[in-house]
Amino acid sequence: MAEFDASELKIPKLQILGKDTQPLFADAKGKQAGGQFPPALATHPGFSRVFHKGRLTFGLMAPFKGYPDTPVPDISDLIKNAKLAEEAGFAALWMRDIPFYDPYFGDVGQGQDPIALLGALVGQTTDIALGTAGLIIPERHPIHVAQAAATLEIMSRNRFMLGLVSGDRKSEYKNFGRKWDERGEVFKEGWGLTKSLLENPTGTHFSGNYYSNLNGTLDFIPRLDHQLPMIAIGRCRQDLDWLANKADAWIWHGVAEDETAQIVAKLQDLNQDGYWHPFGYQNFVELLEDPDAPCQLYNKIYLRGGAKSLAQFWKQQCKQGLSHVIISLKPSSRPAEDCIRDLHDYVFDEVNQD
């Protein structure tokens, strides 16, 4: 697959993403992995809609449209585009967590609070899964994260998936009173406290270095009667062993077209509980008007081409074991409805045909 001139790119600083796959995964053997979810997740409507063994599903990143010429998009059509995506057969809608504009990154995602916007989408959608990709746990308190997640899960009738990240914008950390070099440990502790509150709400006990110490005298609300999916977004500054076992699924940045099988095999090698922990990633997609335009990949994350060639690219990724792609249409200049229609017409069914 050919690469194209970097001058055509409209997303800056892509070189910071997805750049170290080969050393991490080259020794993977790919032992026989379990093909089933843990029983607690097998019947979760959102999680089971997004992840199917042997199939590739697609999610759409907010604001669910292209905005190539501005870092701060107009989201007045966010609800409309969300409904179009659900009607077209997308498996999930995802929100990013970006509280500040940093010119170095040149992008603020949907530019408004993800929890509030997901609350709005709960009442405007019916079946599509809703997720965070992800909440920056070192910049939020896990008690509030857990409460928001449980509330969204209840209000959406079990369509919510909680994606958490460690954060990648150093400039933000100072404003939250966090130390940049501690973000991996802060993330791990925040993940653990969030999980404890969601799964053991009665008399929760927790002891940590960065967050609350809970002594069991209070009960967390609202309570869920089932397990909420928790997904690691990005590396999260964690070992691969942690990602292969602690996260219900792992969604990374884009990787090279021939590296996906290595990643999936490595996760299988490291798995210890015998269950399937799916792997997915994000692509920035510049969807061209000509559906037959050749597909080109830049820097392992930026795809440019027509819908038919994109379908063939993702079809090969599916064969390598990829389970979910989050599409960001940011670099696309075409109207959202045209992009969504092309993905429905040329991609979704084709990718999963034998």
Average pLDDT along the chain, 354 residues, taken 10 residues at a time:
46 40 67 74 95 96 96 97 98 97 90 97 97 96 98 98 94 89 95 97 93 92 96 95 96 90 94 94 97 94 97 96 97 98 98 90
Q: Both tokens of residue 101?
A: 């504009």
State pTM to two decimals: 0.92
What values do phi and psi take at 328, rounded to 5? -105, 120
SS3 124: coil
**Angle between the N-to-C axes of helices 142-155 and 114-122, in degrees from 0 to 180, rounded to the nearest 10:** 10
How far, in Å, CA of 48 to CA of 277, rounded? 12
Residue 18 resides in a domain? yes
Residue 210: the pLDDT is 94
Residue 199 resides in a domain? yes
- The H or E element containing residue 42 is helix 39-42
Residue 332 resides in a domain? yes
SS3 7: helix
Residue 12: the pLDDT is 40
How far, in Å, CA of 128 to CA of 81, rounded? 13
Cis peptide before 134 (omega within 30 of 0): yes
DSSP 8-state symbol, 136? E
Domain count, the chain: 1
Q: Both tokens of residue 110?
A: 């949907």
Q: Which residues have a Cβ under 8 Å from the Cβ of 276 and sit 6 or more positions away?
A: 33, 34, 35, 36, 37, 53
DSSP 204-263: -EE--SSS--EESSS--SSPPSSPPPEEEES-TT--HHHHHHTSSEEEEE---TTTHHHH
Residue 1 resides in a domain? no
DSSP 50-119: H--TT--EEEEETTSS--TT-SS---TTHHHHHHHHHHHT-SEEEE----S--TTT---TTSS-HHHHHH
Residue 314: the pLDDT is 97
Site of tokens 């006990």: 205
Give residue 236's domain range: 6-351
Residue 154 resides in a domain? yes
DSSP 285-342: EEE-SSTTSPPEEETTTEEEE-HHHHHHHHHHHHHTT--EEEEE-TT--S-HHHHHHH
β-bridge mates for residue 302, sequence order: 284, 298
- The H or E element containing residue 172 is helix 170-175
Residue 171 resides in a domain? yes
Residue 297: the pLDDT is 93
How many Å is the Cα radius of gyration of the chain? 19
CB 228 within 8 A of CB 195: no
Side chain identity at residue 289, one-letter code: E
CB 307 within 8 A of CB 287: yes
Q: Which residues have a Cβ under 8 Å from the Cβ of 350 and sit 6 or more positions away?
A: 308, 311, 312, 315
> What CATH number is attached to the domain comprising 74?
3.20.20.30
Angle at 289 between CA 286 and CA 290, to 5 degrees: 110
CB 284 within 8 A of CB 253: no
Residue 272 resides in a domain? yes
Q: Both tokens of residue 267?
A: 């996760």
Residue 123 resides in a domain? yes
Residue 72: the pLDDT is 95
Residue 22: the pLDDT is 53
